[in-house]
Structures are given as C-alpha cells and as structure tokens.
Amino acid sequence: MHGDGPKNPLHGITLEMMVRQLHAHYGWEELDRLVRINCFGFNPSIQSSLKFLRKTPWARAKVERLYLDTSFEVKKTE
C-alpha cells in the first residue's frame, strides 16, 4: 500500500511513527483486537512490532489501513 510520492497519504510518515501513534491512541490490547497480529498480542513492544511489520507485507498493510482509518492530525516533516 505504501507508495512513493507526495500524493500518497502516507508519504513522509514512517512505520515507527504509525506504530507509536496507534499504540498511544489504542494501546496494545485494542490494537491486537483491531488488527489481530501476534506482535500486538503476545509480549508486544514497539521494536518487536517494527521488526515483524517490516518483514510481513500483509500485516504492514493492515496497520497502514488502520492508521489511515484513524483520525490523526498528521504532522509530516518536509
């Protein structure tokens, strides 16, 4: 899902930024309920989640979709 270019809604937002914001907003338990991937439900941490999501495209796509569906005030670095 994550394409290049300024027209992409995720342009300028790192995976780490997404995971941190989602964790702060929902917490691990709710993230596990919403996305249903083990990195959120079994001994979760930011680093373990990033490691898993970087290697697993289908899981990353689910996290990106949740991020886009969640209303955040997006602050991009330009």
pLDDT in tens, 2-56: 556 667 788 888 999 999 999 999 999 999 999 999 999 999 999 999 999 999 9
Q: For residue 29, with 0-12 CB atoms within 10 Å meaning exposed, 13-18 middle and 19 or more buried, which class applies?
A: exposed
Contacts of 22 (CB under 8 A, 6+ apart): 31, 63, 66, 67, 70
CA-closest candidate to residue 44, choices 63, 71, 72, 65 = 63
CATH of domain 15-69: 1.10.720.30
State if pTM tops 0.85. no
What are the structural domain ranges in the chain? 15-69
